Structure 1
Amino acid sequence: MDAQSYASQIPGAESGRVRLSDCIEFMQADLVHVNPTPGNLEHHVSDVLMYDPLDEWTNVDDRIILAVGITYGSADFDQLLHRAANSNAAAVIIKARGAHMEQLRSVAERNQLAVLVAPRDADWTRLVALARASVMGASADSVSGVRLGDLYAFANAVASITNGAASIVDPLGRVLGYSTLPGQPIDELRRVTTLALQESTPPAFDADFKAVYAAAGALYIPSTYEGVGRLALAVRAGGELLGSIWIVDPGAGNAQAALEALDRMAPLAGLHMLHARSASDFGERRNGDLIRTLIDDPAHASFAAAQLGLDVTRGLAVAALTIARPESGSLDSVREIQRLLHLVTTVSNVQFRTSHSALIGSVIYAVFPCPGNDARALHRRVVQEIGAYSHTISSHPLIATVGGIARRVEDLPQSRTEALQALEYLLNREAVARGAGSIEGKAVPAVALYEDHRIPLNLMKIGRFVAEQGLGAADDIEAIRAYDEEHQTDYTDTLRAYLVSNGNISTMAASLHVHNNTVRYRIAQMAKTFSLDLDDPQKRLWLWLRLTTTDLSTQTRLRSMTMQER
Structure 2
Amino acid sequence: MDTRPLGDLLDTLGEPTLRLLTAPAGLTVPVSEVLLYDAHAPLPPRAPGALLLAVGVRADEAGQLVGEAAAAGMAGLVVRGADGPGDGPVAEAERHRLALLAIDEDATWHHVHLLLAEAIGARPAPAGGGAALNDLFSLVNAVAAAVGGATVVEDPRQRILAYSTVPGQPVDEPRRQGILGRQVPDSPENTEQYRVLFASQSPVRLAALGEGELPRLAVAVRAGGETLGSLWAVDDGTLTPDADAALVRGASTAALLLLRARAAAELTRHLTGDLLRRLLEGTAEPDAAARDLGLAPDTPVRVAAFALDRTVSAPDGEQAALRLLDLVRLSCEARYGRHACVLVDGVVYALLPVTGEGGPERQRRLAEDIVRRAEQALRVLVRAGLGEVVPELAEVRDSRRDADLVLRVLGPAETVAAVREVRSRVVLFRLTEVMRAGREVRAGAWREVLAYDDAHGTDYARTLVCWLDAGGDMARAAKLLAVHPNTCRYRLRQAQAQLGIDLDDPDERLVLWLQLRTLAGLRGGASAAPPTG
Say if 2:472 is the partner of 1:503.
yes
Distance 1:224 1:548 in 2: 71
CA contact (8 A) 1:533 1:539 kept: yes
CA contact (8 A) 2:301 2:390 kept: yes
For 1:550, the equivalent position in structure 2 comes to 519
In the TM superposition, residue 475 of structure 1 has moved relative to its aligned partner by: 0.8
For 1:480, the equivalent position in structure 2 comes to 449
Distance 1:514 1:229 in 2: 83
In the TM superposition, residue 318 of structure 1 has moved relative to its aligned partner by: 1.7
Does the residue aligned with 1:472 lie in a helix, a strand or coil?
Answer: helix
Distance 1:424 1:207, change over 3 A: farther
Say if 2:474 is the partner of 1:490.
no
Amino acid at match of 1:377: E
Unaligned runs of 5+ in 2: 1-131, 199-205, 222-226, 238-253
Aligned partner of 1:424 among 399, 408, 422: 408
In the TM superposition, residue 398 of structure 1 has moved relative to its aligned partner by: 2.0
For 1:90, the equivalent position in structure 2 comes to none
1:238-297, Cα deviation, whole Å (9 max, x unpaired)? xxxx99989899899xxxxxxxxxxxxxxxx99999997677543332222111122222
For 1:192, the equivalent position in structure 2 comes to 180
Distance 1:289 1:282 in 2: 10
Distance 2:480 2:216 in 1: 64
In the TM superposition, residue 372 of structure 1 has moved relative to its aligned partner by: 1.3
In the TM superposition, residue 551 of structure 1 has moved relative to its aligned partner by: 5.8
Aligned partner of 2:334 among 350, 353, 367: 350
Say if 2:372 is the partner of 1:384.
no
Amino acid at match of 1:192: L
CA contact (8 A) 2:303 2:386 kept: yes
CA contact (8 A) 1:228 1:248 kept: no
Question: RMSD value over aligned CA atoms?
Answer: 5.2
Distance 1:226 1:300 in 2: 58
Distance 1:154 1:339, change over 3 A: farther
1:523-564, Cα deviation, whole Å (9 max, x unpaired)? 233222222222322222222222333366999xx9xxxxxx
For 2:356, the equivalent position in structure 1 comes to 372
Distance 1:491 1:250 in 2: 88
For 1:318, the equivalent position in structure 2 comes to 303
Say if 2:289 is the partner of 1:301.
no
Say if 2:448 is the partner of 1:463.
no
Say if 2:257 is the partner of 1:288.
no
Distance 1:552 1:488, change over 3 A: closer
Distance 2:455 2:196 in 1: 69
Q: What does 1:249-268 correspond to in 2, within 5 Å?
A: none
For 1:336, the equivalent position in structure 2 comes to 320
Does the residue aligned with 1:320 lie in a helix, a strand or coil?
Answer: strand
Distance 2:266 2:272 in 1: 10
In the TM superposition, residue 181 of structure 1 has moved relative to its aligned partner by: 9.7
Q: What does 1:175-186 correspond to in 2, within 5 Å?
A: 175=159, 177-178=161-162, 180=164, 185=171
Does the residue aligned with 1:503 lie in a helix, a strand or coil?
Answer: coil
In the TM superposition, residue 386 of structure 1 has moved relative to its aligned partner by: 1.8
Distance 2:482 2:216 in 1: 66
1:128-156, Cα deviation, whole Å (9 max, x unpaired)? xxxxxxxxxxxxxxxxxxx9xx9999999
Does the residue aligned with 1:529 lie in a helix, a strand or coil?
Answer: helix
Distance 1:184 1:224, change over 3 A: closer
TM-score when scaled to structure 1?
Answer: 0.50
Amino acid at match of 2:452: Y
Does the residue aligned with 2:501 lie in a helix, a strand or coil?
Answer: coil
Q: What does 1:530-545 correspond to in 2, within 5 Å?
A: 530-545=499-514
CA contact (8 A) 1:230 1:246 kept: no
For 1:403, the equivalent position in structure 2 comes to 387
1:432-472, Cα deviation, whole Å (9 max, x unpaired)? x3xxxxx5xxxx7x222222222221222233223333233
CA contact (8 A) 2:435 2:442 kept: no
- Percent identical among aligned pairs is 26
Amino acid at match of 1:189: Q
Distance 1:224 1:494 in 2: 78
Distance 2:444 2:509 in 1: 13
Q: How many residues align?
A: 358
Distance 1:404 1:492, change over 3 A: same
Amino acid at match of 1:308: L
Amino acid at match of 2:295: L
Distance 2:461 2:211 in 1: 67
Distance 1:338 1:229 in 2: 42
For 2:345, the equivalent position in structure 1 comes to 361
Amino acid at match of 1:479: E
Distance 1:409 1:276, change over 3 A: closer
For 1:57, the equivalent position in structure 2 comes to none
1:8-60, Cα deviation, whole Å (9 max, x unpaired)? xxxxxxxxxxxxxxxxxxxxxxxxxxxxxxxxxxxxxxxxxxxxxxxxxxxxx
Indicate the larger mover: 448-457 or 345-354: 345-354
Distance 1:493 1:370, change over 3 A: same
Distance 1:515 1:292, change over 3 A: same
Amino acid at match of 1:394: L
CA contact (8 A) 1:404 1:415 kept: yes
Distance 1:470 1:483, change over 3 A: same
Does the residue aligned with 1:319 lie in a helix, a strand or coil?
Answer: strand
Distance 1:291 1:223, change over 3 A: farther
Does the residue aligned with 2:391 lie in a helix, a strand or coil?
Answer: coil
Distance 1:496 1:319, change over 3 A: same
Distance 1:246 1:379 in 2: 38
In the TM superposition, residue 326 of structure 1 has moved relative to its aligned partner by: 0.8
Distance 1:351 1:279, change over 3 A: closer
Does the residue aligned with 1:471 lie in a helix, a strand or coil?
Answer: helix
For 1:105, the equivalent position in structure 2 comes to none
Unaligned runs of 5+ in 1: 1-146, 201-205, 236-241, 253-268, 434-438, 559-566
Distance 1:532 1:272, change over 3 A: farther
CA contact (8 A) 1:328 1:362 kept: no
